[in-house]
Structures are given as C-alpha cells and as structure tokens.
Amino acid sequence: MNKRILVTGGAGFIGSYLCEKLINKGNYVICCDNFYTGNKDNLVNILNDKNFELIRHDITFPIYLEVDEIFNFACPASPVHYQNDPVQTIKTCVHGAINMLGLAKRTKAKIIQASTSEIYGDPEIHPQTEQYKGAVSINGPRACYDEGKRCAETLFWDYKRQHDVNVKVVRIFNTYGPRMQKNDGRVVSNFIIQALTNKNITVYGDGKQTRSFCYVDDLVDGILLTMEKKDFPGPVNLGNPVEISIMQLAEEITEMVGSKSKIINKELPIDDPKQRCPDIELAKKTLGWNPKFQRKDGLKKTIEYFDKLLEEEK
Ligand code: UDP
C-alpha cells in the first residue's frame, strides 16, 4: 500500500533525494522545509508530481499532519552553516525532534532520525562503532550541532521507552554528491570549486586529518533500508569506510579536474576531528548494505555537477 510520508528538510541535499526515491516507489510525499539551507532547485524533478506536496515550515514549531512515516532530516549540517546561527541549530535539533516525535506519537507513524558521526566528537577509537560513546566538547563551536544531535537521539530513545514510538536512528558520516551547496564550506564542494576555478585549494591544518566519504546514492539506499527493516531501530552507522587524508583528497581532486590550482594550508578550525571512519559491520550484517560507489566515480559525478552549475552562472 502507498504510504503518506513526511520528509523534514526535504529540500536539502539528502532530503531531496529521499523525497524523489520515495515518490518513485509510489508513495505520497509531504516535504517540509524552512529553506534555511534547502533549495527548491533540488526538487525540480518532483515539484509538479501529483504525489508531492511542499510546505514552507520550520520544525521548531509544531505541525499537524496525518502521516504513516516521518524522515526527520531538517537541520543545517555543514560546519559553516550550523555555526552561523548556533541557537537555531540547537532548536532545530531539539525542539524539532520533540515536535516530530510528538507527531509520530499522535499518528502512530514510524519515524527515522538523521543523526550524525558528529555525535562521536573527536573520536578516540578508530573506526567508530555504534557502541562508542564519543568525545564531544560541550561548549566548543561544533557543540550546537554535536550536542543538539546527541540530545535528539536521547529524545528518540526516550519516546520509544516511554511512549512506545516506533523510532529509528541512522548516524550519517561525511556524504557528498550533486546538490551539495556551492557555499556550504564543506571540503568536497570547496576543493572542487577551487579546482574548477583554478583558485588556491585551501587545506586546513597540515591536511593529515582523515575523513571517509560516502556517495549520496549509497547513503540514501542505506537510509531507506533502515526504515524498511522490521524490528531494527539502530542506531546504525551509514558511511563509506574508505578513509583518506584531506591532503590526499586535495591532490586527488586537483588531478581529476586537471586544475592549475596550488594547494595551500590554512588554520585548522577549533575541535576539527582528527580521524573519522565508520565501522559499518552492523549495517552490512543487518541490512545487507555496502556502499557501491568508488570515490573516483562519485567525485566524477560531483565535479560534473559543479562544472555545470558554474557554467550556468556565467
Ligand atoms: N577542510 C579543509 N578545507 C576546506 C574545507 C574543509 O581542509 O576548504 C577540512 C576540515 O578542516 C575537516 C575536513 O576538511 O578536517 C572535513 O571538513 P567538512 O567541513 O567537509 O566536514 P566535517 O567532517 O569537518 O564535518
């Protein structure tokens, strides 16, 4: 049977792919976004679909809808954006979770939370398993997001225990692909745009810090599998476990673009995690999920996307 599904943050990078895939599976999708970082352009493929509805709404305020499932994906997620208005970031995480969990409780909807590898902070164990409790700064510049997302997870488990809400939590690691924002300050978008415009590639710190990058298609498949899997609340890590240093990434992107850019070093932001790599054994075992995209293939698609975007802006 077709479901009526709410996607908060549905005009965002990941949310828009979710809306699209859910519609393609025959569902009716209500997308709710305050357009703080979301963008209508991300929805061009579905905007006129009869099974799609777009609402401008900020989830820090309650909303009354009748739904079968909720994907709670509203929140600025790049460090530049979530640090721009830290109080609003916490409100989105915490008040947003309370409002969406309240909606799930009333409608008996299944609800999935977009959690994050940031809940592990600057991790002391490597790779990070779901059991790891994290090393998070309470009051640093990333805390609004890290602690906000941690509190949201706590709320999810408490609504499950106290009100028997059917909750699920995915912990999303660094994700990239077309529809990333040009100005979100993230490493993949920054490096690609810098390379395409032959500007200096800005490596923060010595570039020895690592990340593991998952292509958006793989990630969205993992989220949908988690939502469908019966009796599996998670939390589950979703990410690509192939790790790379930021300096290597800078070199790789410069080479792929064939750019004349020079790599330069800039100051490392406060509390920037030194290493990040997901342990995805749980997702593999329970969901049969394993990212398919090699980094080179995903980067190629992302470079093409930004190249076209820059071309259109000329
Ligand atoms: N970074 C960088 N240059 C940039 C943007 C980011 O060297 O122009 C680094 C950043 O300091 C971090 C890593 O790349 O170590 C990933 O940053 P991003 O903001 O993409 O996400 P994070 O994983 O830190 O949330």
Q: Measured on CA atoms in the order 146, 29, 288, 164, is the torsion positive or negative?
A: positive
Please give the mean pLDDT across all residues of the chain.
97
What is the domain extent for residue 251? 187-211+242-273+293-313
- Tell me phi and psi for residue 115, to 5 degrees: -95, -170
Ligand 1 pocket check: which of 82, 181, 204 to mutate, most ligand atoms within 8 Å of Cβ? Answer: 204
Ligand 1 pocket check: which of 187, 212, 214 to mutate, most ligand atoms within 8 Å of Cβ? Answer: 187
Reported as a single tens digit per residue, the pLDDT across 28-83 is: 999 999 999 999 999 999 999 999 999 999 999 999 999 999 999 999 999 999 99
Q: Are residues 168 and 307 in the same domain?
A: no
Mean pLDDT in residue range 259-273: 96
CA 84 – ligand 1 centroid, Å: 16
- The residue behind tokens 């970082």 is 37
Question: Is 287 inside a domain boundary?
Answer: no
Q: Whose CA is nearest to atom 18 of ligand 1?
A: 186
Question: Is 224 inside a domain boundary?
Answer: yes
CA 300 – ligand 1 centroid, Å: 19
Mean pLDDT in residue range 290-294: 98
Total domain count, the chain: 2
CA distance 74 to 34: 9
Helix axes 143-163, 86-107, angle to 10 degrees: 20
Question: Is 249 inside a domain boundary?
Answer: yes
Res 314: pLDDT: 85
Q: Are residues 113 and 151 in the same domain?
A: yes
Q: Are residues 196 and 51 in the same domain?
A: no
Res 259: pLDDT: 97
Is residue 193 very low, low, confident or very high in pLDDT (cuts 50, 70, 90)?
very high
Is residue 246 very low, low, confident or very high in pLDDT (cuts 50, 70, 90)?
very high
Which residue out of 145, 159, 176, 215 is catalytically annotated? Answer: 145
pTM higher than the cut 0.75:
yes
Number of Cβ atoms within 10 Å of the Cβ of 118: 25
Mean pLDDT in residue range 4-21: 98
Residues sharing a CB contact under 8 Å with residue 10, sequence separation 6 or more, in sequence order: 16, 18, 19, 29, 30, 31, 32, 33, 38, 43, 54, 71, 73
CA 98 – ligand 1 centroid, Å: 30
Question: Is 250 inside a domain boundary?
Answer: yes
CA distance 159 to 167: 8
Question: Is 252 inside a domain boundary?
Answer: yes
Pocket of ligand 1 (CB under 6 A): 78-79, 174, 185-187, 190, 202-204, 209, 211, 246, 269, 272
Mean pLDDT in residue range 208-235: 98
CA distance 271 to 273: 6
Res 260: pLDDT: 96
CA 187 – ligand 1 centroid, Å: 4
Question: Is 279 inside a domain boundary?
Answer: no
Is residue 27 very low, low, confident or very high in pLDDT (cuts 50, 70, 90)?
very high
Is pLDDT above 70 for 1?
Answer: no
Q: Are residues 127 and 56 in the same domain?
A: yes
- The residue behind tokens 């750019």 is 259
Reported as a single tens digit per residue, the pLDDT across 111-158 is: 999 999 999 999 999 999 999 999 999 999 999 999 999 999 999 999
Q: Are 19 and 7 in contact (CB under 8 A)?
A: yes
Q: Are residues 13 and 156 in the same domain?
A: yes
CA 178 – ligand 1 centroid, Å: 18
CATH code where residue 303 lies = 3.90.25.10
DSSP-derived secondary structure for 92-161: HHHHHHHHHHHHHHHHT-EEEEEEEGGGGBS-SSSSBPTT---B--SSSTTHHHHHHHHHHHHHHHHHHH
Q: Are residues 59 and 162 in the same domain?
A: yes
Tokens of 297: 């293939």
- Tell me phi and psi for residue 190, to 5 degrees: -55, -50
Burial of 170 (0-12, 13-18, 19+ CB in 10 A): buried
Is residue 110 very low, low, confident or very high in pLDDT (cuts 50, 70, 90)?
very high
17 catalytic residue (yes or no) = no
CA distance 267 to 96: 33
Q: Measured on CA atoms in the order 168, 13, 173, 286, is the torsion positive or negative?
A: positive
Res 216: pLDDT: 98
Q: Whose CA is nearest to atom 14 of ligand 1?
A: 187
Secondary structure class of 52 (helix, strand, coil): strand
Q: Are 177 and 217 in contact (CB under 8 A)?
A: yes
- The residue behind tokens 């997001």 is 145
Q: Are residues 195 and 231 in the same domain?
A: no
Question: Is 181 inside a domain boundary?
Answer: no
CA distance 16 to 2: 19
Q: Are residues 266 and 168 in the same domain?
A: no
- Tell me phi and psi for residue 188, to 5 degrees: -65, -50
Q: Are residues 232 and 268 in the same domain?
A: no
- The residue behind tokens 């490597």 is 126
Question: Is 159 inside a domain boundary?
Answer: yes
Q: Are 113 and 167 in contact (CB under 8 A)?
A: yes
Q: Are residues 80 and 228 in the same domain?
A: yes
Give the number of the atom of ligand 1 that is nearest the alpha carbon of residue 118: 25
Question: Strand pairing partners for 4?
Answer: 28
Q: Are residues 89 and 162 in the same domain?
A: yes
Q: Are residues 136 and 263 in the same domain?
A: no
Give the number of the atom of ligand 1 that is nearest the alpha carbon of residue 186: 20
Ligand 1 pocket check: which of 201, 246, 261, 268 to mutate, most ligand atoms within 8 Å of Cβ? Answer: 246
Is pLDDT above 70 for 312?
Answer: yes
